Structure 1
Amino acid sequence: MTVHDVVAWLEEFAPLHLAEEWDNVGLLLGDTRRSLSRVMTCLTLTADVADEATRENVDLIVSHHPILFRPVQRLTTGTREGELLLKLIAAGVSVYSPHTAFDSAADGINAELSRLFELSDVQPLRPMAAPEAGNDDELPAGSGRFGRLPEGTDLTGFMQVVKEKLGVPHLQFVGDPARRIEQVGIACGSAAEFLRDAAGHGCDVLLTGEARFHACLEARDLEIAMVLPGHYASERPAVEGLADRIGQQFSDLEVWPSRVESDPVQWSVS
């Protein structure tokens, strides 16, 4: 078993052409010829996650968020990013990032969230042009998802469902708590750029992880509700599920989601 074997499966599971143009996806660090036996998934490759990987002799990290977004002009221990990368290189750890390709895949994060909330008639919020989409997906390829709830509710009721399904005690929202919610738009992470797409598809609410203040104002102007359970809460469950998928596909590998990763955002209860 080599890094190439797992990378090839990941690229089939979440085809890289589904990624947003600005994104940096694929194998970002490592040698595809290197053998491997231990794989770890995480949402973000932070210093404590890297320490876990080297301590546990991980061969491949599948990090949802890319470790490299901008061109690197020098690689030294003078920066936190450089120190982290050099530590991984010295330990022979490869790093793969599916990011927005995983968000938009037929069985990706947004599709998984759509199933979690039992949406019907699910379609992409922003469909891809036919030549880009290919013909292998269960529905037209594209970014985000929208669909209908099995039973309409008000915004307060929908927020309670979100808390229960995602396991969060608190969330932020925009909109009238009494507003009727039947059609739901979903875009994991920080994806308020899909507000107009969701409104255009007749969605009553957009569920995304987090949004800036001006995006919240825009939601109010567009008269669409927005529910914000947190970036981590909207994506980490799928990262855990990805570890299960890899383990099922490659039974000879030991695969697990990072055990030290946690949400950096905390809520005051007092």
Structure 2
Amino acid sequence: MALIGAGAVSRTAHEKIGGMSESAPGAATVSDVVTALETAYPPELAESWDAVGLVCGDPAEPVRRVLVCVDVVRETVEEAIELGAQLIVAHHPLLLRGVHGVAADSTKGSLVHRMIRAGVALYCAHTNADSASPGVSDALAEAIGLRVLAPLSPHTSTEHGATGIGRIGELPEPEPFGAFVERVAQALPTTEPGVLGAGDPDRPIRTVAVSGGAGDSYLGAATAAGVDAYVTADLRHHPAGEHLESVGRVPALVGLTHWASEWPWCGQASTVIGAATAGTVEVHISTRSTDPWNVRAG
């Protein structure tokens, strides 16, 4: 997989928390990091179908290094082991659907065995991180340069403030859609599919809706919000096409890969961990692209 500014990313994350040596006293535990993450991303905000929380590992084990990533795959598990990390914090769950076993000769089972044998715990924050404030879409909005105004699809719970899926934001000044698409491309890690725009290149863009991850189910919400553009991932042909053919004013579309749209959250999560562990934990942001599309022709 491709690397994206490996030295700069890891160094920036390290500087945020003032990382300490392995022998530093008062080491944090897996439980300490989990508590910090669940304070920032309350599990009760997760969708009913989701699987969030500690997947494997001993809550009482000490943690000196953490790797934050989007996907738990062979590359990121090996990256954690190479770093000497005791914990992986991932956005996407490894075991989202019910399983009856984690045999070492199965794809996901092999990862579970690899982590346990290497003493690496795994924690996943998924739709709870999507809905939290700040959460995944706040990180995407910040990367693009938006000032967040409100959730795109507010959460039914008000206990945790302005939570919900997606965000509505605005640019400091209007800019042509063509320039806005370029802005998005420059703000996010490079992927082979790149960033795609659908709309008049000269259309002025000021208000923008964003949704990290697959967001074509919120096309109607973005339209109802009256924004100029909508940025999300995994836009499918028919929903996008029908949206653009709708009668009346609809947002222009910016399509991303799923991984790129959620990668900015890794920096946000690393800050949460660093603030809670008072410099006793080194937090590294994975620099390995886990976007599955890695070859482009034409």
| Rounded Cα–Cα distance in structure 1 between residues aligned with 2:130 and 2:110 | 29
Q: Which runs of 5+ in 1 are unaligned?
A: none
Structure-1-length-normalised TM-score: 0.88
Q: What are the residue-to-residue correspondences of 1:11-160 with 2, within 5 Å?
A: 11-120=38-147, 122-129=149-156, 132-135=157-160, 137=161, 140-160=162-182
Question: Which residue of structure 2 lines up, in the alignment, with residue 172 of structure 1?
Answer: 196
| Contact 2:29–2:60, Cα closer than 8 Å, also in 1 | yes
Query: TM-score, length-normalised on structure 2?
Result: 0.81
In structure 1, how many angstroms separate the alpha carbons of the residues matched to 2:205 and 2:96? Answer: 37
Q: Output the CA distance in 2 between the equivalents of 1:38 and 1:118.
A: 30
Equivalent residues of 2:71, 2:290 under 8 A apart: no
For residues 141 and 82 of structure 2, the distance between their equivalents in structure 1, rounded to whole angstroms, comes to: 36
Could you tell me how far 1:134 is from its partner in structure 2? Answer: 0.7
CA distance, structure 2, for counterparts of residue 218 and residue 109 of structure 1: 27
Superposed counterparts of 1:184-199, under 5 Å: 184-199=208-223
Q: Offset at 1:212?
A: 1.6
Task: Report the Cα distance in structure 1 between the residues aligned to 2:171 and 2:210, rounded to whole angstroms.
Answer: 12
Separation in 1, partners of 2:221, 2:121 = 36
Report how far residue 20 of structure 1 moved: 2.7
In the alignment, what sits opposite 2:16?
none
Provide the aligned C-alpha RMSD in A: 2.2
Give the Cα separation in 2 of the matches to 1:21 and 1:180: 39
Verify the 8 A CA contact 1:244 1:256 in the aligned structure 2. no
Partner AA of 1:185 in structure 2: A
Structure 2 vs 1, CA of residues 86 and 224 (structure 1 numbering), >3 Å: closer, same or farther? same
1:203 pairs with 2:227: yes
Compute the displacement of 1:203 (Å).
1.6
- Note the residue ranges of structure 2 that are not aligned, 5 or more in a row: 1-27
In the other structure, the counterpart of 1:254 is: 282
Shift of 1:47: 0.9
**Percent identical:** 34
